[in-house]
Structure 1
Amino acid sequence: MTAPTAQKQRKIQKQVESADRKEEDPKPRGAMQAGARHYPEPPFPKVHQAKPGSEADLPLAPMYDAPFYKGSEKLKGKVALITGGDSGIGRAVAILFAREGADIAFVHLDEGKDAADTKAALDAEGRRCLVKKGDVKEDEFCRTVVKETVETFGRLDILVNNAAFQIHAKDIEDLTAEHFDETLKTNLYGYFYMAKAAIPHLGNGSSIINTGSVTGLVGSKDLLDYSMTKGGIHAFTRALSGHLISKGIRVNAVAPGPVWTPLNPSDKEAGDVEAFGSKTPMKRAAQPEEIAPAYVFLASPQMSSYITGEILPIIGGY
């Protein structure tokens, strides 16, 4: 009675062996392209920038304006404050928020040209904009920018904690206390200070969105300190979400994988930048406009009113 089953299994085995012997497609398979437009694929330009990096000086401009994204008043009448809003993910988020009807305040460190370009893009969206230069490591600055945002627009509905410091250290013995301190104070203290300053002004239905990272999910051997902070941000997101349930304030995080912004060319050596994102299943880095809609989703009470304490990975596949 077992012979038919064994025979069937051998038949299946032969079919699989035959399939395995088929010559592989000789054409190299490029990066996955499934978006509204074609996105750049490695190799990227060999470029290395001084910190904090400049989007205006990148030889390959990040794609942030999302021309096929049509707003539908998901954030009409709301006010958003975004740290690191001058470039990269922060710039793309600011533009989509404005396209959805929000007025925008954004913070930058000292990237004047990038900040001016972002403001011009927001002006083109027809929304009001407040630009503040400062360091989120400083508690007083965080309190001041929140106060000025509320004074300018009369309210605050959305906080996006996005400013970050990242630079690799290939050996833990080369990770100095100064380097470690700068990473933790920018990425953790900055988020804490901004949230603490903003919460008294946020009402029922408001939202805090933190920028985490795939490194906070799986780690990165050359980014020990950065991975630690991003894991901390994920934990902070979940803890703060529970803390603010009674106030009706939702807290979530987006955890991007590799994204083409000034953050990485100002971290990696030029040769490493060339292959940036090639190890993801999609074989390319994301562009900022591919990440920003997730922030709209998490900010909008029409779209995510039952979502809090979540970490949303956007990492180009597992």
Structure 2
Amino acid sequence: MTDDPRPSHPTSFPDEPQQPRPGLTTEMRTKPDHGEDSYVGKGLLKDKTALITGGDSGIGRAVAIAYAREGADVAISYLAEEQVDAEETRAWVEKTGQRCLLLPGDIRDRDHCSRLIERTVAEFGRLDVLVNNAAAQTMNEGLESIDDDEMQGAFAANVFAMIRLAKAAAPRMKPGATIINTTSEQAKVAGKNMIVYAATKGAISSLTVGLSNLLASDGIRVNAVAPGPIWTPIQPIAKSPQELETLGQDTPIGRAGQPGELAPAYVLLASSEGSYMSGNVVAVTGGVPIS
């Protein structure tokens, strides 16, 4: 693999079939790179336990693989319809010798958020890292095309669930624990066809700062990662075949990112390597500025 970031991964995704929600990695023609063959751990999360929402595929799968290779046991939450992807993630985690707990369900259900924390602690005896990664991406043409139910569902999945999970997790966490939220470059770029999605991601960025201020006195760090266009199942759900062919080509690096390229940021923020980082939004955007 070349060190030049421009040609190191695909720059186009022709003939990629569109998918219905929630989308599956197993149905993608061009498979994402989750770091399966490249990520090498250094023991940075030895004896830790992490819960990753949306851990079945995409960025969540890449983070689960990286965390396991760093020595952590991993619980992943996902929709029941994504079971086949979740099983594949578990297989990658277990290849490292770490444990993987599968937790199907819908994080828009407030009681499910509490159960995720309870079951993770019951299984592993502790919770050191909460990665709020699951998200619903909505697209719009004009304002008139925004569906109210879809909008409420997006805020429930992307924002309300994060607050509920943090509320349930923080009392179970010890000093040194971390919460990592997935926001997006859309929090700042705010494309005209992603109004609702961008609004939720802006809320997440603000939530991250607020939580970091609130929980710092407990020794809990809170940060966020802001991805740019990343090749995950969310793309063939939301975008047309024509849009997929040029996905990410308008970034300075000239291509979409791969999930595995996000994992090191999540490892940094979860480990003692990032011990003086809190309230930050780390951009992994292919060069698109978000500040």
User: What is the rounded CA distance, in whole Å, between the counterparts of 1:44 and 1:299 in structure 2?
Assistant: 36
- Structure 1 counterpart of 2:64: 94
Secondary structure of the residue aligned to 1:69 is coil
Q: Secondary structure at 1:265's aligned position in 2?
A: helix
Instruction: Give SS of 1:228's match.
Output: helix
Deviations 1:24-61 (A, max 9, x none): xxxxxxxx963599311114433210001001110000
1:9 aligns with none
* Alignment partners' CA distance in 1, 2:33 and 2:286: 16
Partner of 1:283: 254
Check whether the contact 1:46–1:271 (CA below 8 A) recurs between aligned residues: no
1:245 corresponds to which residue?
A: 216
Q: Which moved more, 1:241-250 or 1:41-50?
A: 41-50
Query: In the aligned structure 2, how far is the partner of 1:250 from the partner of 1:45?
Result: 42
Cα deviations by residue, 1:173-228 (Å, 9 ceiling, x for unpaired): 11011111111111001111111111111110000000000000221110100000
Question: Number of matched residues?
Answer: 286
**Structure 1 runs not aligned, ≥5 long:** 1-31
- In structure 2, give the amino acid aligned to 1:288: P
Residue in structure 2 matched with residue 76 of structure 1 by the alignment: 46
| TM-score normalized with structure 2 length | 0.95
- The 3-state SS of whatever aligns with 1:50 is coil
Whole-Å separation in 2 of the counterparts to 1:125 and 1:36:
30
User: Amino acid of the residue matched to residue 52 of structure 1?
Assistant: P
Secondary structure at the aligned position of 1:120 is classed as: helix
Residue 122 (structure 2) pairs with residue 151 (structure 1): yes
Runs ≥4 residues deviating over 6 A: none
Question: Which secondary structure does the structure 2 equivalent of 1:192 belong to?
Answer: helix
Aligned to 2:173: 202
In structure 2, the residue matched to 1:256 is 227
Q: Distance in 2 between matches of 1:36 and 1:75?
A: 30
| C-alpha distance in 1 between matches for 2:281 and 2:72 | 23
Residue pairs, 1:113-124, within 5 angstroms: 113-124=84-95
Q: Distance in 1 between matches of 2:6 and 2:103?
A: 33
Deviates more, 1:152-161 or 1:58-67: 58-67
Q: Which amino acid aligns with 1:192?
A: I
Give the Cα separation in 2 of the matches to 1:35 and 1:87. 23
Correspondence for 1:133: 104
1:174 alignment partner, one of 145, 153, 167: 145
SS of aligned partner of 1:45: coil
Do the aligned partners of 1:167 and 1:268 also contact (CA within 8 Å) in 2? no
| Equivalent residue letter for 2:60 | G
Tell me if structure 1 keeps the 8 A contact 2:16–2:29.
no
What is residue 6 of structure 1 aligned with on the other side? none
1:58 alignment partner, one of 25, 28, 43:
28
Conserved 8 A contact 1:105-1:131: yes
Distance 1:237 1:39 in 2: 31
Distance 1:188 1:94, change over 3 A: same
Q: Is residue 166–residue 226 contact of structure 1 (8 Å, CA) maintained in 2?
A: yes
Whole-angstrom distance in 2 between the partners of 1:121 and 1:208: 23
Pick one of 229, 239, 246 that aligns with 1:268.
239
SS of 2:68 mapped into structure 1: helix
| SS of match in other structure, 2:26 | coil
Residue number among 157, 179, 188 corresponding to 2:159 in the alignment: 188
Q: Larger radius of gyration, structure 1 or 2?
A: 1
CA–CA distance in 1 between the matches of 2:105 and 2:16?
A: 30
Q: Which sections of structure 2, spanning at least 5 residues, go unmatched?
A: none
Work out the CA distance in 1 between the residues paired with 2:7 and 2:145: 42
Task: Among all aligned residue pairs of Structure 1 and Structure 2, give the percentage whose two residues are the same amino acid.
Answer: 43
Aligned residue for 1:90, secondary structure, equals helix
Per the alignment, residue 182 of structure 2 pairs with 211
CA shift in 2, pair 1:220/1:125, >3 Å:
same
Q: Secondary structure at the match of 2:134?
A: coil
Q: Distance in 1 between matches of 2:16 and 2:101?
A: 34
Output the aligned Cα RMSD.
1.5
* Alignment partner, residue 287 of structure 2: 317
C-alpha distance in 2, partners of 1:201/1:171? 44
